[in-house]
Amino acid sequence: MIETVFSTDDVPMADRFDYWRECMTKMMCPTEMGSEFEGEFRAQSRHIELGALSVWPAEMRPLSWRRTPSLIRLSDPELYHLSLPLRGSIAISQGSTDAVHGVSEMYIVDTSLPFYCQVPDTTLAGVGFEIPKALVSLPPDRVRSLLTRRLPAGDGFGALLAGFLRRLADDTGSYGPADEERLQGILVDLFTATLAHHLEADDALSPEAHRRTLLLSIQAFIRRHLHDPDLSPDGIALAHNISTSHLHSLFGTQDLTVSAWIRRERLERARRDLADHRQYAVPVHRIAARWGFRYHAVFSRAFCEAYGLPPRDYRHARLTSGA
């Protein structure tokens, strides 16, 4: 994983807009840009490379950029670009479709076709995501019908994709070099599943992609219900309209059983709470109960096996060391 920081604060004021134009070319593709704030322009971004994919959280003052036929002939990376606004809004036009998208209203454009974008009157903050079209196992003519359309980030696969992009943008430090291929696979599957959902074309997904996407959806469901001590494989399977045996087969690729995966997630969240100095006054048994452990003795034994110390000793060691 390669991460590069771009900030107009790093160059003289007179050069900032030209600098940002070059940054956008590196992060996405060549475009014609303009802004009424050229003389006092400010923007910043982190460009996160994951093999052929890229994620870039960014913040910028009002501006516009246009992808023209001549620029496409000059250079075309053949990407789908997804934008996830987190603050402000953005107007987009591609083909015969015009739209304005606000917070958590994702959309995609195709770098092989002309488009026009404008951040109208407020600072825009959001996350951009680029993926080669060749990695998306959906017919290009079908995807074309989704260009510039609103893809809600509040539910379904859209929520999974947006949530994953936000978490990755917030915390790349949690991942090592060996995780890059896994992150690529997750992003490709979530992006494809999100588009397939809106095309009502889940059958266009390969069986393996569909399997992995279902697993991601189940894991997200489990994380939302970790607090429930009655969370069980039977209940999880029922909530997803699959058999318990199919659920266990999905987790066969995780090197953990369903129950072991739940226990690991619960322990990790309890560990984070115990290391949080703001929660020092919260009793250990209450933290255990918060994450679905019905019996304190069971929690203490499992925690000690996982982290080498009883929960109280772990909390004391973390808080007194200042780590």
Q: Where are the beta strands (DSSP E) in the chain?
A: 2-7, 32-34, 43-50, 53-60, 63-67, 79-87, 90-94, 97-101, 105-110, 115-119, 124-132, 151-152
pLDDT single digits (tens) 40-75: 889 999 999 988 899 999 999 889 999 999 999 988
Pick the residue with more confidence: 179 or 245?
A: 245
Question: Among 4-8, 79-83, 101-105, 216-220, which stretch is predicted with the lowest mean pLDDT?
Answer: 216-220
The residues that bridge with 5 in the sheet, in sequence order, are 46
Query: Does residue 25 contact residue 31 with C-beta atoms inside 8 Å?
Result: yes
Question: Among 128-132, 180-184, 243-247, which stretch is predicted with the lowest mean pLDDT?
Answer: 180-184
Pick the residue with more confidence: 91 or 121?
A: 91
Task: Give the strand pairing for 43-50 and 2-7.
Answer: antiparallel
pLDDT at residue 121 above 80?
no
Q: What's the rounded Cα separation, in Å, for the pair 156 and 153? A: 8
Q: What's the rounded Cα separation, in Å, for the pair 270 and 140? A: 45
Percent of the chain with pLDDT over 90: 52
* pLDDT of the residue at 299: 96
Contacts of 180 (CB under 8 A, 6+ apart): 1, 50, 51
Question: Among 19-23, 30-34, 215-219, 232-236, which stretch is predicted with the lowest mean pLDDT?
Answer: 215-219
Query: Does residue 120 contact residue 172 with C-beta atoms inside 8 Å?
Result: no
Q: How confident is the model at residue 106 (pLDDT cuts 50, 70, 90)?
A: very high
Pick the residue with more confidence: 1 or 112?
A: 112
Positive or negative CA dihedral for 291, 296, 297, 300?
A: positive
* pLDDT of the residue at 217: 80
pLDDT single digits (tens) 160-217: 999 999 999 888 777 777 778 888 888 998 999 899 888 875 556 667 777 877 888 8
pLDDT at residue 253 above 90?
no
| pTM of the model as a whole | 0.69
Q: Is 13 helix (H, G, I), strand (E, B) or coil?
A: helix
* pLDDT of the residue at 261: 93
pLDDT at residue 137 above 90?
no
Q: Is 245 helix (H, G, I), strand (E, B) or coil?
A: helix
- Read off the tokens for 257: 């059983």
pLDDT single digits (tens) 260-312: 999 999 999 999 899 888 888 999 999 999 999 999 999 999 999 999 999 99
> What backbone torsions phi and psi does residue 35 show, to the nearest 5 degrees?
-160, 140
